[in-house]
Structure 1
Amino acid sequence: MTTPLHIREMTLPDCRPVAEIRIGGWQTAYAGMIPQTYLDRLDVDADAERRRGYLEKGDGQVVNLVAERRGEVVGWVCHGSYREGEVRTDDAELYALYVRPGHFSTGVGHALLRESARRCATAGHARMLLWVLKENTRARRFYEGHGFTPDGAEEPFEVDGVMVPEVRYVRALRDAARD
């Protein structure tokens, strides 16, 4: 039997574990998709400090949740209003979802996504959108398995002089408030 998972709001002491999860996620999931020189330069301490800054000056627009199992933070999800440039829309956006390497396929990502979608639906958002690396087939399968579909939008971003394409996914949230 798997130890129960506890989903809760992220706190300042969670910033270091979340940074470890985020950096480990990038280095594991994006190998071969993002320049290795960039992945090698990712710094957990700097990322943890950024997370602290975001939480300290948070305005309630962005929700950060962590998943804990046996007192260890094993996943992190972050969502808020969808952004069209600098303008926030009525849709929700899943900004980030990461699971600690070694905890993939254990239900952590599912639980975090479910809770994030539930909170967005409860807040009145009709849809949730997200961006995922076009080549990240594992993540794309995960999101498709949770009711997300690509909507045809693609947008590259630049990493160390390399253009990395992302695709946008969307999911209606009409049933998520009851999950």
Structure 2
Amino acid sequence: MYIREACIEDAEKIAKVHVDSWKSTYQGIISEYYLSSLSVEKRLKSWLWTFENLEIHQKIFVAEDTPGNIVGFSSGGRSRNNEFKHDGELYAIYLLKDYQRLGLGKMLFTSIVRSLKDSGYSAMMLWVLKDNPSVEFYKLQGGQIIGQKEITIGSDRLIELAIGWDRM
């Protein structure tokens, strides 16, 4: 298994991982109605737009298993939030359920951190649902909860945590 920078040709496989990982990660957190409405086709449109509009410091990485199947991804770049002093942001990191707890998440995380550092960023943050089991993963990587907000996904009102690293 290895990590590489993604390209637009990966968009459909990333979209599939995105949808499948949302359905497994957020089961019991986000309504089943909303999760069942997710589609690879809709997510693919979003990923194609993302690839076509990448800013210079934004990166997307994929995790592949030995046969070359994409089993996870991460993305990050300039912080989209002015509320905190962190100049970099981990936008997303997802792995298929069968590939979690094998070290790939840490490798995807480290790829974004390295990319942000190489681009001159000094601090990083991310948003994660409070009930997402990955909150503990981020804390183990040295992240601290720096804020929270209420968001709505479908008909669910949820708490999202801001986690930050003052130095990467």
Regarding TM over 0.5, the answer is yes
Aligned match of 1:158 in 123, 128, 152?
A: 152
How far is 1:160 from its partner? 2.1
**Structure-1 separation of matches of 2:45 and 2:80:** 24
Q: Tell me the distance in 1 between the aligned counterparts of 2:10 and 2:140.
A: 29
Query: Which is further off, 75-84 or 52-61?
Result: 52-61
1:170 and 2:141 matched: no
| Letter of the structure 2 residue corresponding to residue 63 of structure 1 | K
Code of the aligned partner of 1:112: L
For 2:39 and 2:141, locate their aligned partners in 1 and report how far apart those are by CA, in whole Å.
31
1:115 corresponds to? 111
Aligned to 1:75: 72
TM-score by length of 1: 0.86
- By how many angstroms is 1:61 displaced? 4.2
Q: Corresponding residue for 1:48?
A: 44
Instruction: Give the residue type in structure 1 aligned to 2:138.
Output: Y
8 A Cα contact 2:79 2:87, kept in partner: yes
User: SS state of the match for residue 102, structure 1?
Assistant: helix
Query: Which residue does the alignment assign to 2:139?
Result: 144
Closer/same/farther in 2, CA of residues 46 and 130 from structure 1, 3 Å limit: same
> 2: CA distance between counterparts of 1:114 and 1:54?
21
More strand by share: 1
- Structure 1: give runs of 5+ residues left out of the alignment: 175-179
> What is the alpha-carbon root mean square deviation over aligned residues?
1.9
**Structure 2 gaps, min length 5:** none
Q: 1:139 to 1:90 in 2, by over 3 A?
A: closer
Q: Return the offset for 1:172.
A: 3.2
Q: Whole-Å Cα distance in 2 between the matches of residues 169 and 130 of structure 1?
A: 5
Shift of 1:90: 6.1
Runs of 4+ in structure 1 over 3 Å off: none
- For 1:53 and 1:84, locate their aligned partners in 2 and report how far apart those are by CA, in whole Å: 21
One-letter amino acid of the structure 1 residue matched with residue 75 of structure 2: C
- C-alpha displacement of 1:120: 0.9
Q: Distance in 2 between matches of 1:61 and 1:50?
A: 19
Q: How many pairs are equivalent?
A: 167
Separation (CA, whole Å) in 2 of partners of 1:161 and 1:154: 19
Match in the other structure for 1:177: none
State the Cα distance separating 1:106 from its structure 2 match: 1.0
Q: TM-score, normalized by length of structure 2?
A: 0.91
Q: 8 Å contact 1:121–1:173 — kept in the other structure?
A: no
